[in-house]
Structure 1
Amino acid sequence: MKSIQTALKMFAAIAIATFMTNCGSTSAPTTGSMALDAGFKSITATTPAQKAELAKLPAGQVSSVTHKGKQYYVVPNADKTQAYIGGPAQYQRYKDLQADAQVNAANMEAIGQYGTGYDTMGAGSAAAWDAWGATVN
């Protein structure tokens, strides 16, 4: 029974180490990429009137805009030449993605500060692999 528990702990440690390797190397999502992931459409301001409208909005923040009686959400990029536009469903998904990103950042910070709780290279590692019939030198 102990060998199964040890093997499961080893599997969990490997999974966590893989997760940390894959997630730790990626950068935090940008507002624009998160908006695209949420289903916002990317548009480029081409006319002076479009550029003037984008200039009124805060860069990198979602602004609520009503156009012809419909609610839209607009996120201008930093230089305000491009915007991401979505409706209520896309905005809800955007908020969900933001919340997920905040939780992931907090989890990564906690892992970095406190570790995973598993000793992946300690003396117990060889015993765990032996339980599976593998030889570790």
Structure 2
Amino acid sequence: MMAFSSFSSNGLAFLLLLAMALVDSARGCVFYAGGKDGWVLHPSESYGHWAERNWFQVNDSIVFKYKKGEDSVLVVAEQDFDSCDVSNPIRKLDGGDSRFVFERSGPFFFVSGAPGRCERGQKLAVVVMAV
């Protein structure tokens, strides 16, 4: 009887740890675009390199830090990302420190909404891994 009681409490502890891990993964991690530099024209590490060294998952979020009124972040289609076409964004973030949550896996494309900045390299492509 004692062995069963011990197994039950260990099994319960395992289930609680598993449940906590699942809840934690549902919240996701927070990433800051460009690291310490934020969403700027010339970060110390290119946005492409920064994105390559990070692993993004569904429910993770990315924060773009910039001065409200001086810049914005546009979520765009891949072809608009490639050509820096800012005329038809999927979504516009312009509140200063803007947060975007990855609600699905796949590629996401972000460009600066300030005139000329995308063409000068202020753009970021992120691939979110499948669950």
TM-score, normalising length: structure 1: 0.28
Relative to total residues, which structure has the larger helix share, 1 or 2? 1
Structure (1 or 2) with the larger CA radius of gyration: 1
Structure of higher RCO (CA pairs closer than 8 Å, 6+ residues apart)? 1
TM-score, normalising length: structure 2: 0.29
